[in-house]
Every structure is written in structure tokens, then in C-alpha cells.
Amino acid sequence: MTVNVNPIIPGFYPDPSVCRVGEDYYLVTSSFEYFPGVPVFHSRDLVRWEQVGNVLDRPSQLRVSTGRAGASAGIYAPTIRYHDGEFWLATTNRDDIMKGHLIVRASDPAGEWSDPVHTTGAIGIDPDLAWDEHGTCYLTWSGPGGISQATVDPSTGNLLSDPRIIWSGTGLAHTEGPHLVRRGDYWYLLAAEGGTGPGHGVCVARSESPSGPWEPHPGNPILSHRSVDHPVQNTGHGDLVELPDGSWAMVHLGVRPRGSFPESHVNGRETFLTGVDWVDEWPVVVEDRYTVPEAPTAFADDFTAPKLHPRWIAPGTDPRSFADPRPGEGLRLLAGREPAARDAERLLAVRTRDASWTVTATLPQGAVALVVRIDDAHWAAVERRDSTLCARVVIGPLDQVLATADGIGTHHALALRAVGHTEQYSFAKGPDEIHLGYLADQQFHTLATIDGRYISTEVAGGFTGRVIGVEALGTDALLTRFTYDPEPVPPAAS
């Protein structure tokens, strides 16, 4: 079997859900504390994807929180479906969990989605929507005791039946992430089990009714890489889609750990693709069905467009509230955290997506920071105040300046590099090294280097991955160019 190691959507885009309308596929993922929420991708072949928007892109749709308390809260495990001429999406906002799940809809997934309605009385995470042949809508989610379900009016959020547990899973931990899919005479209930770590897997049950009783797949879990030697681990949380020719596929999450034992993953949980065959009316995963090339990830943004590209996010706040594109000038950043502060307030960021990368930011005005982070207690940055650069790292209670350089002009771009470790056998190696520095004469000048494991999920915890962003320190600043490149910029001669 060919080992496919490339995600269809690299970077922390976990908990994928997918639907098809004609020749078009649409996919959404979790976004946690970052605003805007729920990125939307489009594809024609399931392999190549383009982000076309974000579902929750207005403050009236989404409330998220800054700081450590908000980390890995926010938006959990959405489901996207197409029914009766409209796209529907259900998800959970951990910051508003007692309101129930939220449901929004749109005629165009790349356009404007409605303000949410809430399913008061349905408390849990990971909601799914499915309609039977009579038009009854079933809301299915993960709650205490397993998978719960109620019928619902999706246009109002009102529950039409009392919630009840319909399946307790196979006995593995953390039965969650349900998706209901109809094929032929059966309804299939997919669930993520084993926890979203090394024991993760996709399990399936079937029934002639969308409410059960459920017969578990005799080969559960149908997908798991636990205890096997595979470069992609933690595989689980799948969703099925039927292709126009009648064949089927599944999207699911996974991680790509690297470094010495016990290894670390830094780009978060990513979205992968497998084929699916049907044997005795059961789904069978075919992992080598698709050849997935490396996704193109490089970009340069000069902020000449009148609004931000949908890739740009901010932890706990709407980036449009502090990042103002001014064509012909650049991007005006309103003052964020004070220079000595640790917690991001107005950080404009993008996800890291590769094992190695170089990021540069040209900032001709203001005190600024170029930051790689997982949360406010795990980050590293190049900070500039006047003509002094400092390389700063925050790891838990540690907050230290590792190196400084004076006389660096504003025409020098701030820069960060990640250099991935590819040795098969090594000791005391993190997944990569992170270099903090600046560019001069198109070469990278390193101020300091840190072990990348200190900015990994295994150290920080949580459900997200690294982002790289820019913040104005105490005063307004101007960003005129930002580049992300998986190819390394050559280091300056020592």
C-alpha cells in the first residue's frame, strides 16, 4: 500500500465535515478561539482545496475570548449539509455552550451566512444535522453518556422532541463527533472514539432508522493508526461523502508528529482524505485510493485589496476591528498589547502549514512583534522597539529575552524560520528548530534559536496548532508586506 502522508488541507484545520452539491465539494473545520470562525473550503476533485470564506465572520454570529481562558474554547466540530436548496451548518461555541448548539444557513457557502439560532436544551458538543425522507430534521451530538439526538426545527433551533441517548459507542473513550449518513436501506452513524490523541479512531454503526437501534461495525474502528508505524497519527473524526459516480470517500483528521520519542506535532490536527468501499453494506476504508500532492501553501500579501483575505485570523477578537487595509499604503494595525505584556490583544495571524517555513514581515512604522504561538503561555517572537530587535520566548512562567541587536532599520523585515528535523533516528531532537531574526540582503540573520517542541501541542496542550502573526506593541503600526514560504531563506554567512 502506498503511504499517503500529505493532508488535503495542511495546518490546524481539524474535525472536517464535507458535503457535495453537483460537481462542487464544500468542507468546513473547527476554529476554536480564532475569529473569524469555521473556515470554508471548495474543491472539484476532493484533493485540491481553496478557502473561499468563513462561516462565522461577524460579531453577531460569534463570541470568542482572549487569554489562556479562551485557548482551545470557541468553535468545536461543525457539520455542513445541503438540504432543500440551502446550505446548513451546526456547531458548538464552548464560550456559549449553555445556549445549546448554533445553526446557520446560506444560499452560497462562500457568501454571507445567517445569524445563528440556538438549540436550547441540547447541551454538548459536535452537532450533526440530517433529514429523513419525510423532511424531519435530526440533531445529533455528543453529550454525557454518548451520542444524543432530538428532532429539531433548524430554522428556529427549537427542539421538537426530548433529547435521548441513541448510542454509547463501542467501549472506547470519548464517543463524540457524530455524523449521520444515509446510503441505500441503512443509516450510518459515524463517531470519533478513543480521544483525539494516539488512540483516536473512526467507528461506525448502522440502523434502518436514523434513531437506531444501532448495530456496530464488526471491524470497528474502521480507521485508526494507533500502535502502528505510520507518519500520520491520531487519525479519526471522519465524515463521508458520495461522489457523482456513486463511489464514496471520507475526510478525517490526523497529525504529523516529528522529532525524538515521544515526538511532537506543531501544525495541529490536519485534514486528510481516504477512499471508501462498501462490503456487505459496511464502509471499508481504502487509504491509498487517492494520490495527494503537497498542497501549495506559499503566499505574499501586500494588502492592496480592500479587505483581508479569509486566511487571516485573530485569537479572541475580530481582526477587522484593528487591522485596516489601506490600498497604496499597507495595513494599519491599531495598538495591541504593551511591549512587556505576555497576552496577545490584537494579533493578526495565519496558520503554519509545513514542516519547514520562513515568514517575513515588513513593518516600516511602529513598535511591533512577529510571533509564532500556540497560546499566550507558549510563544516566541522577534520584537522591535525603535532600532532595537530582541528575540523573546514565553514558555509557561518563563519570559526571557534571548538576544538583542541594535541599529536595525525599519527597512529590514522581521523574520522567523522553522527548520524541520528529518532524521529517522535521533535523540533529544524536537520536531524542528525555530530561528528568530531578520532579513538583510535577502539573507536570514539569526538572533536566537529555540527547540520547537516548546511550542508544540505536546507541551502547550489544547486542540489547536501554531499560528504566526504580527502585533503592534502599545502604539499603532504599519504592515506593508507579509510572506509565508515553505522554502527556507538562506542564512547569512557566520
- Residues designated catalytic: 15, 176
Give the three cell numbers for residue 75: 468553535
How large is the C-alpha radius of gyration of the chain? 23
Are 182 and 279 in contact, with CB atoms under 8 Å apart? no
Q: What is the dihedral of CA 95, 97, 99, 104, to 10 degrees?
A: 80
Nearest in space to 145 (alpha carbons), one of 160, 123, 128, 162: 123
Burial class (CB in 10 A: 0-12, 13-18, 19+), 244: exposed
Within 10 angstroms of residue 306's Cβ, the number of other Cβ atoms is 8
Q: Using the 8-state DSSP alphabet, how is residue 94 labeled?
A: G
Nearest in space to 17 (alpha carbons), one of 73, 75, 86, 89: 89
Question: How far is it, in rounded angstroms, from Cα 274 to Cα 285?
Answer: 7
Q: Where are the beta strands (DSSP E) in 330-413?
A: 330-333, 348-351, 357-362, 368-375, 378-385, 388-395, 398-405
Give the three cell numbers for residue 439: 532579513
Question: How far is it, in rounded angstroms, from Cα 118 to Cα 100?
Answer: 6
Question: How far is it, in rounded angstroms, from Cα 319 to Cα 106?
Answer: 23
Alpha helices, DSSP H only, in 256-380?
Answer: none
Strand 37-43 with 414-420, pairing: unpaired
